[in-house]
């Protein structure tokens, strides 16, 4: 089976690192569990431009971003089960080099490919990352997509894929898309795919 896997908050704890970086510079004390929306600027109370500025600082160079708990073990199990894995991220492609270096550090030789749904700048309103993710999934023959964003999964499942949604505060109040299961941890994912995903 070919499985698509989002990067940020599915493989990498971007928000946790972003906030440690932001809090240190701004003298604030925000925590990931406060983020009940994808609109970080609403929680931080700053313009989107400031989020974009920090995005370049955090993603533009190699940073000590930790993997999501049990993601390393979960990816290894999926590979042992014989699945092919493709990273499909809405992260801007201009961050390709640090992104692939990070993946090589924690997940070397685990992925068949890394695809970027955003060919523009971060938060570029002219880039339709949802449409691009669907196109990438079709090109790669992906059957299941693992995400933290139900909006991406809703589009993917409408296009015929199945979805796995990692629970986070920012998606708990969102409706679960069709043909999607919710999980609380990477520990559940290989077992679900091996037992029910075929």
Burial (CB < 10 A; 0-12, 13-18, 19+), residue 36, is: middle
Cα→Cα distances 104→72, 78, 81, 172, Å: 12, 17, 21, 31
Residue-level pLDDT at 120: 67
In a structure prediction context, what are the per-residue pLDDT tens digits for the chain, which is 198 residues long?
Answer: 999 999 999 999 999 999 999 999 999 999 999 999 888 999 999 998 898 888 888 887 777 899 999 999 999 999 999 999 999 998 888 889 999 999 999 999 999 999 998 876 666 676 677 888 999 999 999 999 999 999 999 999 999 999 999 999 999 999 999 999 999 999 999 999 987 544
Evaluate whether 130 touches 157 at the Cβ level (below 8 Å).
no
pTM of the model: 0.92
CA 20-21-24 angle, to 5 degrees, is 80
Nearest Cα neighbor of 86 from 49, 113, 124, 59 is 113
Residue-level pLDDT at 198: 45
Nearest Cα neighbor of 143 from 85, 71, 81, 56 is 85
């Amino acid at each position: 089976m070919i499985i698509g896997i989002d990067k940020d908050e599915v493989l990498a704890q971007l928000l946790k690192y972003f906030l440690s970086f932001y809090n240190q510079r701004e003298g604030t004390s925000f925590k990931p569990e406060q983020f009940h929306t994808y609109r970080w600027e609403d929680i931080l109370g700053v313009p989107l431009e400031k989020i974009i500025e920090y995005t370049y600082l955090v993603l533009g160079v190699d940073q000590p971003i930790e993997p999501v708990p049990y993601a390393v073990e979960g990816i290894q199990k999926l590979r042992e089960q014989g699945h092919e894995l493709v990273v499909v991220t809405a992260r801007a492609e201009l961050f390709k080099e640090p992104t692939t270096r990070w993946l090589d550090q924690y997940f070397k030789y685990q992925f068949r490919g890394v695809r970027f749904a955003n060919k523009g700048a971060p938060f570029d309103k002219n880039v339709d990352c949802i449409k691009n993710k669907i196109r990438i999934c079709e090109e790669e023959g992906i059957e299941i997509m693992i995400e933290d964003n139900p909006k991406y999964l809703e589009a993917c499942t409408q296009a015929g894929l199945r979805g796995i949604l990692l629970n986070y505060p920012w998606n708990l109040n969102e409706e679960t898309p069709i043909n999607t299961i919710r999980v609380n941890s990477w520990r559940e994912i290989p077992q679900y795919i091996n037992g029910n995903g075929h």
